[in-house]
Amino acid sequence: MSKLLIVNAEQADALFGDGGWDAVVVVGNTDALDAHPEIQQLVAHASGVDARIGREPLMLLAPGLAGGRLVLAPTGDLEGEYEDVRRYAEAAQAGVGIALRAGARAPLLVIAGHDDLRYSQALEVALLGAGHEIYTPFDVAGPDVTLGVLGLEDAPRANALENGRIAARDLCGGDPEQMAPPAFADYCVELFADTPVSVSVIEDQDVLVRDYPLLSAVARASFAVDRHAPRVVRLEYTGEGVISRNWFLAGKGVTFDTGGADLKIGGAMAGMSRDKGGAAAVAGLMATLAQLKPKGIRVVAELGLVRNSIGSEAFVPDEIIESHAGVKVRIGNTDAEGRLVLADVLSHLRESVGECENPVMFSLATLTGHVGRAYGPYSAVIENAVARGQALGGQLQMVSEIWGEPFELSRLRREDFAQVAARSPSERLLSSNNGASVNISRGHQFPMAFLLQAAGLDRHGAGSDQPIAYMHLDIAASAVEKRDPLYGQPTAVPVATLLSNLLDH
């Protein structure tokens, strides 16, 4: 794996080699670089002989500039009313990629900003794109890179965020053996050693079956294989001072999903080692907090780590299993396993809320194919009534836009509860229909209705003695690069959005 250090470069002579930079990467349109006439002059000369200047990313020989290399990474037209800040991430990724392939190991990033509010975080989002390009998986040797940034105001936060995103990519991208549940848990134990984040791991089969019955049903066929046996990882961070924000996060960590008895067929099993993107993103956020040590916040997370295996012990449709919250669930489809894992984890988090004020709960999951069918490569946020009353989903959506991780705001409806209503007197809930979510009306919304009831969160609605704001984030279509949803690089979405929502709003 590569190592990345992000530093604020001094303005004065950094462009001319002071500081050891070996390439200058300009992200944005060079006509906005009035503070750097030497770059504008080079670009003007080159434009006379190369029509690609300003249209596509490329490198110029630049004697006198750091490393003799000038990489231009234009964003294209930013004036279009439907454009967004992802233009900066895409341009930075392309530009830094050119610099690295040319041999640079200490590129200097120069961001040509824009005064539209859509681009208020353009520099930070460009860093996300650069980090995505620099990242190499933990099992691949990569270069160590120092990235200089002109005008970077908060280098510690930038480094903490990228380190959290690296952890999220590692955990999401590891193959079914590298990041099987025990290995995923071990990574977390090592990641949070000697940090303010406490870690506990539940691995005892009797305890899991007793306290996480739905999760254990999903893992039933994998218990007998030690390296695939399930784990629940609990992470807790409590900052110094008076606690003003209390967050509780549940992460779906299905390390491989065969579909179980409802076996995935027709090639649909490929890429299912990425079905742990929700747990990976939660761990990434906690890693960022461990490094930043923000005051006044408490964050508790549980990661449900299971392999949905097929075998003689596999759970099957029609089984009725009582959740941790005491709700009898009839299994409708074993390939709808993620909501079962989340329901028990959410129920434990519900019990952890205690007497704290204004708790906010999240579930993060690569849950449904339907979200991709509905929204393309975007994430979805669905609120319960308490969160909707506080406009928390709208706030998260606003933050996601300026950080280049756009969410669509979805809505829970009464029809969603009808989808999971009992079909017989023997159960209270049906976990799912017996078809793929992409073919089911409201396929990414109705799982929220199941989660609310199976986890006991329906007891904490707007009119209850203890309301809990709860948002479900379905990142199935955004957790991996859209260019290759099966084998592409994990994106670490939505670590940046969650961090900003927690600390800045």
Instruction: Give buried/exposed letters for 56-68 (b at 16+ CB in 10 A, else e).
Output: ebbbbebeebbbe
Phi, psi of 231 (to 5 degrees): -140, 150
- Choosing from 86, 105, 264, 413, the catalytic residue is 264
- 339 catalytic per annotation: yes
The token duo for 375 is: 């929204």
- Which residues pair with residue 409 across a beta bridge? 381
Q: Is residue 286 a contact partner of residue 235, using CB atoms and an 8 Å limit?
A: yes
The residue from 165, 274, 339, 388 that is catalytic is 339
Query: What is the C-alpha to C-alpha distance for residues 174 and 170, in angstroms, rounded to an integer?
Result: 6
User: How many C-beta atoms surround the C-beta of residue 398 within 10 A?
Assistant: 16
Q: Which residues contact 90 (CB under 8 A, 6 or more apart)?
A: 75, 129
For 116-261, strand residue ranges (E) read: 145-150, 198-202, 231-238, 245-257
Question: How many other CB atoms are found less than 10 A from the CB of residue 13?
Answer: 11
CA 502, CA 326: separation in Å to the nearest integer? 32
350 part of the active site: no
Contact 283, 490 (CB under 8 A): no
Asked whether the CA dihedral 487, 491, 493, 499 is positive or negative, the reply is positive
Rounded Cα–Cα distance for residues 359 and 362 (Å): 10
| Residues in the chain, total | 505
- Residues 187, 243: Cα–Cα separation, whole Å: 29
Residues tagged active-site: 264, 339
